[in-house]
Amino acid sequence: MSLIVLDDQLLPILVQAPIQAWATVQRLRDLRPAEVIKDDRVPSLLRELKRPTFVTIDAGFYDRNLCDPAYSILYFALRDDQQPQLPGLLRRLFRLSEFKTRTVRMGKVARISRDGIGYWQHREKDMYLLTWRD
């Protein structure tokens, strides 16, 4: 099963609890409880794990320079008060062939919204755009 790492700004009761029903989830702060983890340190921390998927609502992580074959980053374009929508969007995203398995997610940095998905893939120049399928 794939490891999903949640950014610290995501509320456990709204995001972690619903996802834990169907996936292995850890909060970023639980990976290094004695440290304060700044955003610029996140990629190196993800590289230490076994092919994690990092989930955030921080737009700063939607950066093609963060593409790395060791992890994937999923930025959900949601406001803080929209966090309850995240688990459903994540589950829906994981039904798409481009994100269905951990193997195909690795190397991607994606922006997910209710309108669609945009993502970059490691070592590829172009951005990919997807629309939600019913």
Give the Cα separation of 38 and 77 in Å (integer): 20
Q: Apex CA 101: angle with CA 80 and CA 9, to 5°? A: 20
Is the model's pLDDT at 30 over the cut of 70?
Answer: yes
Is the model's pLDDT at 130 over the cut of 70?
Answer: yes
Residue type, 121: Q
Q: What is the mean pLDDT of the chain?
A: 93
Provide the pLDDT for residue 31.
Answer: 86
Provide the pLDDT for residue 77.
Answer: 98
Indicate the pLDDT class of residue 1, thresholds 50, 70 and 90.
low
Q: Which two tokens stand for residue 122?
A: 């490691």
Provide the pLDDT for residue 75.
Answer: 98
Give the Cα separation of 119 and 134 in Å (integer): 20
pLDDT in tens, 38-93: 889 999 999 999 999 999 999 999 999 999 999 999 999 999 999 999 999 999 99
Give the Cα separation of 84 and 67 in Å (integer): 27
